[in-house]
């Protein structure tokens, strides 16, 4: 299974970055954002983008603020948004297959191994209270 293979792949072959958003209904948004990571930008790419000397080759297809706003306005759906990484050997197809086949395992793995937690409104489990 991919879940077990992924943990044993060495990180020396390169890194891919992804953003994923899910709620109580399942994965709602998934996109590779490797090109947008500063480690992968060519020298002066940021300054060229700001000065608009050169058009950004692949701009975000979504504003991150929209994902967060959607999560905040739909608190009853308990959104979680994370940025996580994989190696070059594990691409978007494999990750999509993983969360389609085994969404709970995928969510647990991302919660444990994420690079950055953008938003988390995870449902808290209620403890039994004796009255």
pLDDT mean over 96-108: 93
In a domain, residue 22? The reply is: yes
pLDDT for residue 7 is more than 50? no
In a domain, residue 129? The reply is: no
pLDDT for position 9 = 32
Paired tokens of 65: 């603020």
- Per DSSP, helices labelled H in 9-123 are 45-51, 64-73, 92-101, 103-113
In a domain, residue 15? The reply is: yes
In a domain, residue 127? The reply is: no
pLDDT for residue 116 is more than 70? yes
Per the CB < 8 A criterion, the answer to whether 15 and 33 are in contact is no
In a domain, residue 19? The reply is: yes
The domain total for the chain is 1
In a domain, residue 11? The reply is: yes
In a domain, residue 130? The reply is: no
How do residues 24-46 score in pLDDT, each as one tens digit? 999 999 998 887 666 655 545 55
- 18 phi and psi, to 5 degrees? -135, 155
Full residue range of the structural domain in which residue 48 is found: 2-120
Burial 55-67 (b: 16+ CB within 10 A, else e): eeeeeeeeeeeeb
pLDDT mean over 5-17: 52
Pairing between β-strand 116-120 and β-strand 15-23 as defined by DSSP bridges = unpaired
């Amino acid at each position: 299974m991919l879940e077990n293979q992924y943990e044993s792949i060495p990180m020396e072959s390169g890194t891919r970055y992804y953003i994923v958003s899910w709620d109580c209904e399942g994965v709602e948004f998934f996109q590779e954002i490797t090109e947008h990571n500063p480690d992968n930008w060519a020298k002066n790419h940021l300054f060229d983008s700001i000065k608009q000397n050169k058009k950004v080759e692949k701009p975000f297809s979504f504003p991150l603020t929209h994902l967060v706003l959607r999560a905040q306005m739909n608190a009853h759906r308990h959104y979680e948004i994370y940025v996580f990484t994989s190696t070059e050997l594990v691409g978007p197809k494999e990750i999509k297959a993983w969360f389609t086949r085994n969404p709970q395992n995928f969510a647990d793995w991302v919660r444990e191994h994420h690079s950055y937690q953008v938003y988390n409104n995870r449902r808290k489990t209620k403890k039994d209270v004796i009255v």
